Amino acid sequence: MRKRRSRRRAIGTRALTLVKAKTNARWSLDFVHDQFAGGRRFRILNVVDDVTCECLAAIPDTSISGRRVARELSALIARRGRPGMIVSDNGTEFTSTAILAWAEDHRVAWHYIAPGKPTQNGFVESFNGRMRDELLNESLFFNLDHARQKLAAWTADDNTQRPHSSIGYQTPAAYAAHLNATGRPAAQCGSSTARPVAHRAPQGVTTAETLVRAG
C-alpha cells in the first residue's frame, strides 16, 4: 500500500506543467446538486475550459453514471475537439472503469485532485459557486426539461454576454475566438501585458494512468 501511494504521488508530481493559453488546453469537471419543486433531487455535470472560462456543458439529470460522463465527453469532443488534460475530483463517476478506459482510448491526461481539496479544482468550483448564487438559489425547477432550458439560457449569457475579469474583462466566447484567431492571449484592459498562461495543474493530483496501473 505504501509503495502504491508513493507511486501515485510521483506520477502526479510529473504532471505539474504549465498549461498553454489556448482553447482545450485543460478542462475541469464537477457536479452540483439541486432539487425540483416536488422535492426530487437532480445533479448537474459542469464542464469548464480553464483557459477561456467557457462553460462547455451543463448537463442535468436525476442520475449520471461514469458511462454517461464518458458519452457526454465524447459528444463534446466531436463538437469542440479533444482536450489536452481533464481535472476532476475522486468521485466514483470520475474514477469508474468507464472513465479510465475512455481517457486511455482518447489519449486524454486525466488528473484527480487530492481528496478533500476542492480548491485544487478552483476553476470549476468558482463556476459552480456562481451558478449556485445566480441561478440555482434563485430558481424553482419543475422538471428536467425546465432545468435544461434554464441552464442553457444562463450558460449562454455567461459565455457570450458577461465580461470576466480573469480574461481582461472579455466574454469567454470572445476570448476563445481571439485565441483561435491569433494563437496568443489578448492584452489585459488598460495594459500591454498579455494574460499569462493558465495555472499549473493542481498540486497533489493523481493521474488516471496511476489508477489503471494500481488496479
Extents of the domains making up the chain: 2-181+196-214
Distance CA 27, CA 201 (A): 11
Cell of 161: 454576454
Per-residue pLDDT, averaged over 120-148, amounts to 96
Q: How confident is the model at residue 119 (pLDDT cuts 50, 70, 90)?
A: confident
Query: How much is the average pLDDT of 173-194?
Result: 72
Judge whether residue 27 has pLDDT over 60: yes
Q: What does pTM read for this prediction?
A: 0.82
Grid coordinates belonging to 72: 457526454
Given a cut of 80, is residue 210 above it in pLDDT?
Answer: no
Residue 107: all three cell numbers together: 489519449
What's the confidence (pLDDT) of residue 184? 81
Mean pLDDT confidence for 164-170 = 94
pLDDT of residue 97: 97
Q: What pLDDT score does 185 carry?
A: 79
Q: For the domain bounded by 2-181+196-214, which CATH number is listed?
A: 3.30.420.10
Spell out the long-range contacts of 97-100 with Cβ–Cβ below 8 A and sequence spacing 24 or more.
97/66, 98/65, 98/66, 98/67, 98/69, 98/70, 99/66, 99/69, 99/70, 99/208, 100/208, 100/211, 100/212
Span 6-17, pLDDT tens digits: 333 332 333 334
Mean pLDDT rounded to a whole number for the chain: 84
- The answer to which of 2-6, 55-59, 161-165, 176-180 has the lowest mean pLDDT is 2-6
For residues 43 and 61, is the Cβ–Cβ distance under 8 A? yes
